[in-house]
Structure 1
Amino acid sequence: MPGLAVAAGAAAFAWLVHLGVPALPLLTIAVAAGIVTGQVPGLRPALDGPLRPGLAFSARTLLRAGIVLLGLKLSLSDIVGLGWVTIASTVAVVVLTFVGTLGLGRALRLPGHEPLLIASGFAICGASAIGAMAATVRARDEEQARPVALVTLCGTLAIAVLPALWHPLGLTAVQFGHWVGAGVHDVGQVVATAQIAGQAALAVAVVVKLTRVLMLAPMVAITAGVVRRRQTDAAGPRPAIVPLFIVGFLVAVLVRTFVPVPEAVLEAADLVQTTLLAMALFALGSSIRVAALLHTGWRALVTGLASWALVAVLAYGAVLLG
């Protein structure tokens, strides 16, 4: 309970900051608050002691619940409305970024599951995808620290960098929205970046981004299948082919698509989903130790920056094709 209470308080703090500065995405604030908290020497005994059970529950169980509710943002009819060229190019961006980042991370000899987690975060949907993939492969909390920090850093930088490139690249407002949706990691960061170009750009950006979010299910399922084949009985229980929370995510997508859900219910679900993810991302951020990252994480930094550049270039190519 103490850890859950701290995570809930951090989520409330992130809400207040976001209300005061709407340009800052709420979930980015939550991660940043966690990272800052984790660097305070006087707080570390509490974070690693009495608060740890609640924070671990937030980082795992609440994250999965938030991902399930994230499915209620997705309507298949909205995605179909993008057209097959945009859908195909968006899927290609996700797959190519994932494969390219995974290969680079392994070439640079990043430890454990870090290459997979960085690839998931940059290719699909930021820290939420990292948490989903980490749950599937049973990655340790320490293995999530660098990927979460990197995807938060690059997604935050995108809020300033991409608008500066909008006019030099000769993009229309709608094309800019498409580029942002295909190339920025977290949904909140997409909204913060695309809204600069107006409502039309924002609408396209969100639908394209949610198309990438939908790729979370098959990417996690494929990864679980690969891990399942590689593991032996001696290595412990094999992961489910499709994790239960991913099944819940897909059910939520189908409900949003085929069931006339009242707007009030969708708004309430969005509030709960955002709160759960804010608590989870604060908990993940609190496990990050920046000093250790600066000392040992240069290869992860190179991988993250290269992946950020790769997804931006591929997304720009998808815009030109569309």
Structure 2
Amino acid sequence: MSFLPATANDLPSSLTSANPGSSSPALASLSAGIVPGLVLVAMITSVAYSARNVSGFALFSPMILAVVAGMIYSNVLGTPAHAKAGIAFSQRRLLRFAIVLLGFQLTLGQVAAIGVGGVGIIAATLGATFVFTVTLGRLIGVDRKLAQLIAAGTSICGASAIVATNIVTDARDEDVTYAVAAITLFGTIAMLGYPLLAPVLGLDQHAFGLWAGASIHEVAQVIGAGFQDGAQAGETATVAKLTRVAMLAPMVIALGLMARRGNADSSAAKPPMPWFVVAFVAVVALNSLVTMPAAVHSAIALATQIMLTMGLAAMGLQADISQIRSRGLRPLALAFSAFVFIAAFSLTLVKFA
């Protein structure tokens, strides 16, 4: 795979005028154009990780804190023009590569461990929630692309799903930021509230873990809620959630096909199967066949989180708060409705299916 821009229009002007036979000056010029933005994104990412050590912020993942920090920086200080190339690189290339690396967090054996019934509950919940959210969004007048982002974030895996879906839907940066913020809000409510409901609903640890994994938004939020009810609940919740993550690939493919079908000019439509989806599936297969040392697995997981955090920091740096405010409260109401739906639908299946 190549992280270099695909066309001459994506390159800095200094590259297009360089001698074709001289690759070193071209690469140096490219690096010079990207480095300032990468440094700024890395600084925002460092702030996000540091903020987690502050009392009250430990509940939030670095990805969420990075979005907020990036928004504050860009809307208070402004984003330097010379940093835009590196910011765009982080938002697109790093994010796609990070989504591929997410495959190392899942094996086919883990999916099999929760059984056919568990996988069926997760798949049914995902599909029903996505359709419900998109349909309700259309009925209450939420922009189609923003509704799809909220649907993906609620039904699959929070911010990571929003980022992956946006590669196909191509929504505005402000829409991505709005969707991440809404998903974070209701996912945090679920993380804190679900453990309190377990005894009231009469759920044993396996049932609670399946419910949490099938319906809470972010992986970190699922782990936080699951292990509050016990080790078995935490392990079941984690595997159920990772199974939802695996379903990110077919969902993005389906959205790509919809985009192609809805565009009269098929040559201009998004490809039905983006390369990162194919790579994600391949990595899951590799991770299922090859046992990596624990240290290597941990290093990949950390690198994945850092790259995801840098990508979301870049989105925050390009988000205009005034544009987010202009969206109003309807998208927030949509996210809340999706949150209630996925919690109730999955609980019904867990209890009675």
**Superposition TM-score, scaled by structure 2 size:** 0.83
Aligned to 1:149: 181
The 1-side partners of 2:74 and 2:263 are apart by 39
In structure 2, what residue type is equivalent to 1:165?
L
Aligned to 2:19: none
Q: CA deviation at 1:291?
A: 5.1
Unaligned runs of 5+ in 2: 1-34
117, 128, 152: which is aligned to 1:120? Answer: 152
Unaligned runs of 5+ in 1: none
Q: Name whichever of 210-219 and 53-62 sits farther off.
A: 53-62
Q: CA deviation at 1:14?
A: 3.1
Q: Which has the higher contact order (CA 8 A, sep 6+)?
A: 1
100, 119, 135: which is aligned to 1:87? Answer: 119
Aligned to 2:30: none
Aligned to 1:167, the other structure's residue is in SS state: helix
Aligned to 1:158, the other structure's residue is in SS state: helix
- Mapped pair 1:305 → 2:339: no
- Mapped pair 1:259 → 2:290: yes
32, 38, 43: which is aligned to 1:4? Answer: 38
The 1-side partners of 2:47 and 2:74 are apart by 21
Q: Name whichever of 235-244 and 254-263 sits farther off.
A: 235-244
Aligned to 1:139, the other structure's residue is in SS state: coil
- Mapped pair 1:46 → 2:79: yes
Aligned to 1:296: 327
Distance 1:164 1:51, change over 3 A: farther
The 1-side partners of 2:197 and 2:328 are apart by 29
98, 102, 111: which is aligned to 1:70? Answer: 102
46, 57, 68: which is aligned to 1:35? Answer: 68
265, 269, 273: which is aligned to 1:238? Answer: 269
Aligned to 2:278: 247
Aligned to 1:305, the other structure's residue is in SS state: helix
Distance 1:127 1:6, change over 3 A: same
Q: Which has the larger radius of gyration?
A: 2
Q: Name whichever of 296-305 and 52-61 sits farther off.
A: 52-61
Aligned to 2:27: none
The 1-side partners of 2:84 and 2:303 are apart by 23
Aligned to 2:269, the other structure's residue is in SS state: coil
- Mapped pair 1:269 → 2:300: yes
Aligned to 2:243: 211
Equivalent pair of 1:32/1:285 in contact (CA under 8 Å): no
Q: CA deviation at 1:250?
A: 0.4
Render the CA deviation track for 1:121-176: whole Å, top value 9, x for unaligned: 11111111111111012223233222111111111222222222222222223322
195, 218, 228: which is aligned to 2:227? Answer: 195
Aligned to 2:201, the other structure's residue is in SS state: coil
The 2-side partners of 1:55 and 1:181 are apart by 33
Distance 1:166 1:52, change over 3 A: farther
Q: CA deviation at 1:42?
A: 6.4
Distance 1:126 1:107, change over 3 A: same
Q: CA deviation at 1:207?
A: 0.4
- Mapped pair 1:285 → 2:316: yes
In structure 2, what residue type is equivalent to 1:12?
S
| Aligned ranges 1:132-143 → 2 under 5 Å | 132-143=164-175
In structure 2, what residue type is equivalent to 1:31?
I
Q: CA deviation at 1:255?
A: 0.5
Q: CA deviation at 1:287?
A: 3.8
Distance 1:229 1:18, change over 3 A: same
Equivalent pair of 1:120/1:126 in contact (CA under 8 Å): yes
Distance 1:6 1:136, change over 3 A: same
Distance 1:13 1:42, change over 3 A: closer
Structure 1 vs Structure 2 CA RMSD? 2.3
% same residue: 33
The 2-side partners of 1:201 and 1:80 are apart by 17
